[in-house]
């Protein structure tokens, strides 16, 4: 029996847990699905056992993990730890998630209900697409990228590693010769309308999105 661990026990992890349960039930006769936290506990959250990272890693049988934590740096740290322990991630995809055609989505993605990846998109490891988000054609998305709910990412956009895109943000389409680029570690504010490329590490807000000016 395979042990599947959801790393974290916060709000997003609790939202993801039933999505994972429904998906796994369609592919496995027997499995165990648990929350995994730094300390663990003997308690249950929403009916699921909470165990520590040490307990998870010491489990003698087959085990897989998914990291339901928004912070990309923490996701990277956990990924490094699990890779060293030879534990592979698994992708969580809601039964109503749509991946339409010729997409390449890396391991460890969390694809929540009502999300869509359309055509010819390339997406790195540990991508989060929260409720009602979409990725359109010919996008290239790096590792550890987070979409909050209802993100609209239109075609021919390049999003580099560790980018966070806030709820309701819209990213204008690029072109084949000049894709719109969101640089590594950038933050797109909630409800922002991104009409031009964003530099690495920059935080942009508003409509049209502009960098936050520090006093």
Task: Read off the pLDDT of residues 17-72 as tens digits, 9 standing for 90 and up.
Answer: 999 999 999 988 889 999 999 887 768 999 999 999 999 999 998 999 999 999 99
* Separation of alpha carbons 117 and 136, rounded Å: 6
Q: Is the pLDDT of residue 215 over 60?
A: no
Give me the mean pLDDT over the 80-94 stretch.
Answer: 97
pLDDT score of 200 more than 80: yes
Q: By C-alpha distance, which of 146, 144, 113, 116 is closest to 131? A: 113
- Joined together, the tokens standing for residue 29 give 């006769």
Q: Is the dihedral of CA 105, 107, 109, 115 positive or negative?
A: positive
Mean pLDDT of the chain: 95
pLDDT digits (tens, 9 = 90+) for 25-35: 998 888 999 99
- In this predicted structure, what is the pLDDT of residue 125? 97
pLDDT in tens, 159-186: 999 999 999 999 999 999 999 999 999 9
Residue 48 neighbours by CB under 8 Å, 6+ apart: 17, 33, 34, 35
Catalytic residues: 137
> How far is the C-alpha of 198 from the C-alpha of 186, rounded, in Å?
7
Paired residues of 2 in beta bridges: 31
pLDDT surpassing 90 at residue 78: yes
What's the pLDDT band for 211 if we cut at 50, 70, 90? very high
**Partners of 141 in the β-ladder:** 123, 159
Contact of 150 with 172, CB cutoff 8 Å: no
Among candidates 26, 10, 7, 203, which has minimal Cα distance to 97? 26
6 token code pair: 């959801």
List 52's β-bridge partners, or say none.
37
Which secondary-structure segment (H or E) carries 187?
A: strand 187-188
What is the DSSP secondary-structure string of 132-181? Answer: T-EE-TT-EE-SS-EE-TT-EE-SSEEE-TT-EE-TT-EE----SSS-EE
Query: Is residue 17 within 8 Å of 37, Cβ to Cβ?
Result: no
Judge whether residue 214 has pLDDT over 60: no
């Amino acid at each position: 029996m395979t042990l599947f661990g959801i790393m974290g026990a916060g709000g997003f992890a609790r939202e993801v847990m039933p999505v994972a349960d429904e998906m796994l039930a369609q592919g496995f006769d027997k499995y165990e699905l648990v929350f995994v936290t730094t300390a663990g506990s003997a308690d249950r959250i929403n009916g699921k056992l909470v165990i520590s990272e040490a307990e998870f890693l010491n489990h003698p049988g087959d085990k897989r993990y998914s990291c339901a934590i928004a912070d990309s740096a923490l996701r990277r740290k956990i990924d490094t730890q699990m890779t060293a322990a030879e534990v592979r991630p698994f992708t969580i995809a809601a039964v109503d998630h749509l991946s339409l055609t010729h997409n390449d989505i890396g391991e460890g993605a969390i694809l929540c209900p009502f999300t869509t990846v359309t055509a010819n998109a390339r997406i790195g490891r540990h991508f989060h697409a929260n409720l009602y988000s979409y990725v359109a054609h010919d996008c290239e998305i790096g590792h550890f990228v987070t979409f909050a709910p209802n993100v609209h990412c239109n075609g021919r956009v390049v999003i580099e590693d560790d980018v966070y895109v806030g709820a309701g943000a819209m990213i204008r389409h690029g072109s084949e010769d000049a894709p719109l680029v969101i640089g590594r570690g950038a933050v797109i504010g909630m409800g922002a309308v991104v009409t031009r490329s964003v530099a690495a590490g920059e935080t942009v807000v508003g409509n049209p999105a502009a960098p936050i000016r520090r006093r």
